[in-house]
Structure 1
Amino acid sequence: MNRRNFVKDNVMFSGALGLGVTGIFAQSGKSGNGEPVVPGQFHLKYAPHLGMFKALAGDDPIDQLNFMADMGFTAFEDNGMKGRSLDLQKQMAATMEKRGLEMGVFVAHEISWSKPNLTNGDTSLREKFLKEIRESIEVAKRVNAKWMTVVPGHVDLRLRKGYQTANVVESLKQASALLEPHGLTMVLEPLNFRDHPGLFLTDSPQAYEICKAVGSPSCKILFDIYHQQIQEGNLIPNIDASWEEIAYFQVGDNPGRKEPTTGEINYLNVFKHIHSKGYQGIVGMEHGNSEQGKAGEQAVIDAYKASDSF
């Protein structure tokens, strides 16, 4: 990372806001529970993505990773990692290892947003999916990832739901057999009906049922709190009910899918609850910024410090 540019940017930002990048840590001197605020002391492994701190860190992905680590984040996720060049994957992996950033999810396969994929039992589509899983295993090993996102695709309107569920379970069983020897986990992400109408996997009980049917440590739930607030609400009870099958969380506030504190979800309570249950995994910051530029990026950091102040 270019430290001179980093310092220069933060001096300018400090003059504009009276805080600077480290200002949020020193502003009050104490966290919500009265303990001294120290940069980097988050209770959970919040994982930003590329572009979230572009104004403060610059365009270069490596500079952005270094900035995340400088701000105290200990994880990173990248839906598009599979599509990045081999050289960039290796550079990012080396930077994450050097800076203590744990790699979160990337998308494991081509998601079908409008047509049946794993739901209709088409063996050619199943083989395509399994081929993509094999490719993703190599990416995961290259970037030290443990998790990859899987979305079963669109419903098949010509098949009853039970048959579709059986088709999905069979595909996931075969994928799990590929993943298990490598200690890797695909996480199934239920998506809400409003943003993604017509998809097969929509809520946490359904994901729980499928994971139980697959019966593998390589097939678990990605509980995206933004999606599930829209789809089913009742967040903490539903998290508790599906807890043993949850391997990963993602967040975004509703409405708007921006950082915590911008919508209706009480993320302070939700994060506190997840932490109290002993969660050691990653919390992916899969949302946009509510404001543009450096001020908006500072607001994201502020929001996570506030929502983590338990």
Structure 2
Amino acid sequence: MPKFSANLSMLYQEHTFLDRLTAAAADGFKGVEYLGPYDERPDDIAKALSDTGLTQVLFNLPSGDWAGGERGIGGLPGREAEFADGVDRAIIYATALGCKQVNCLAGIAPEGREHAHEAVLVENLKMAADRLGEAGIRLLLEPINTRDIPGFLVTGTDQFLRIADRVDSPNLWLQYDFYHMQIMQGDLIRTFQTLQDRISHVQIADNPGRHEPGTGEINHPWLFGALDRLDYTGWVGAEYRPAAGTSEGLEWMKGT
């Protein structure tokens, strides 16, 4: 059976941030993840994790002005110093929370500027992979669909492989989101199996709608069985928008 992690940036929105950990544990989740912990004190989150017995599975590097529409700064020219500061800040939080992996969001590239932004991303990833590796933390890179985030820089697994070849670090891993990849390229399990030795974390949501498993076209029971057959031992992040309440929509997890 897969290990499920609750993405607290989408689930349990009726609760305050720290109370979401309590709610997730009560519903049977064993781990948590979210966009970022940076609005909370590390000690407060660490205490909530200890109190609930949850594992801190993942969070993102600081992603710029999210409210203003930015979706990561990994590939943004002129923001290299901010990105480096964000890596240092993420290490502080990850160390305090016992988190062994962080994800980089590449950001949005204006049309025609993709190559320039990718060059910046490669250099930033080289630096981040080294710094995080020294701290015992994996660096992940996530391809995201361009329906939800038009203009996002990294959109598929082939592009990840091209970037990884240029970064040339053993500490750059793929975050494989089945929802995003169903939209962008399909062939989910075959691609997963091909790249399994490069994948450090997976996430799920159904399509269309990005709601919980069972609301769309992806056969999640078969997918979970395939992950077991392939001996995937990592976490499966529930990163979806509940169609109703979070707790009310967890039948998909109870049946695994």
Give the TM-score category using the shorter length.
0.7 to 0.9
What pairs with 1:205-244 in structure 2 (closer than 5 Å)?
A: 205-244=158-197
Change (3 A) 1:62 1:125: closer
1:283 equivalent in structure 2: 236
What pairs with 1:101-112 in structure 2 (closer than 5 Å)?
A: 101-111=54-64
Change (3 A) 1:144 1:134: same
2:2 equivalent in structure 1: 44
Deviates further, 77-86 or 271-280? 77-86
User: Which structure 2 residue ranges, 5 or more long, are not aligned?
Assistant: none
Higher Rg: 1
SS at match of 1:191: coil
What pairs with 1:158-169 in structure 2 (closer than 5 Å)?
A: 158-159=112-113, 161=115, 163-169=116-122
1:297 equivalent in structure 2: 247
Q: What is the aligned-residue RMSD (CA, Å)?
A: 2.4
Q: Which amino acid aligns with 1:144?
A: G
Structure 2 distance, partners of 1:231, 1:287, is 17
Question: Aligned residues: percent identity?
Answer: 27
Change (3 A) 1:84 1:189: same
Higher strand share: 2
- Checking the alignment, whether the CA contact within 8 Å between 2:63 and 2:73 is kept in structure 1 is no
The C-alpha deviation readout for 1:16-70, integer Å capped at 9, x for no partner, is xxxxxxxxxxxxxxxxxxxxxxxxxxx1111113373466xxx355554344334
> By how many angstroms is 1:115 displaced?
9.1
Q: Which amino acid aligns with 1:139?
A: Y
> TM-score of the superposition, structure 2-length normalised?
0.88
SS at match of 1:263: coil
1:12 equivalent in structure 2: none
User: Which structure 1 residue ranges, 5 or more long, are not aligned?
Assistant: 1-42
Structure 1 distance, partners of 2:60, 2:205, is 18
- Checking the alignment, whether the CA contact within 8 Å between 1:226 and 1:251 is kept in structure 2 is yes
2:108 equivalent in structure 1: 154
- Checking the alignment, whether the CA contact within 8 Å between 1:208 and 1:242 is kept in structure 2 is no
Structure 2 distance, partners of 1:192, 1:270, is 20
Higher helix share: 1
Match of 2:50 among 94, 98, 118: 94
Structure 2 distance, partners of 1:136, 1:62, is 19
1:32 equivalent in structure 2: none
Name which structure has the greater RCO, CA cutoff 8 Å, separation 6+: 2
> TM-score of the superposition, structure 1-length normalised?
0.73
Q: Which amino acid aligns with 2:253?
A: Y
SS at match of 1:236: helix
> By how many angstroms is 1:140 displaced?
0.3
Deviates further, 150-159 or 184-193? 150-159
